[in-house]
Amino acid sequence: MMSVDKTKCHTDYPHIVKIEGVCGGEAIIEDTRIAVWHIVGYYYKAGMSVEEILAEWSYLTPSHVFSALAYYHDNKDEIDRVRYVNSYDYWLEHYANAVA
């Protein structure tokens, strides 16, 4: 079986990368499949503290979470767009009435 090399693009933020074919190429925490927009949603929408996020995903470190939040604040339009495209509201607008 042939292996496929995925292009990893490092960002200016420690632990935050973009990998072609992983989570749609969106910003993720390196060596995980946790997207920055997930962390943002847990922190701001669900109201989880950093400590609660770390307790839920024990393989994350505080620097992973804080780096994801810093990336968000410097790339708010990008992450807000991705959060919206992955939201229930977007699904309702674009797919809820689709004919099977």
**What's the 3-state SS for the chain?**
CCCCCCCEEECCCCCEEEECCCHHHCEEECCCCCEHHHHHHHHHHCCCCHHHHHHHCCCCCHHHHHHHHHHHHHCHHHHHHHHHHCCHHHHHHHCCCCCC
Range 20-33 average pLDDT: 96
Query: What confidence tens digit (pLDDT) does each residue in 58-70 have?
Result: 999 999 999 999 9
**pTM for this predicted structure:** 0.85
Residue 11 predicted with pLDDT over 70? yes
pLDDT at 100: 55
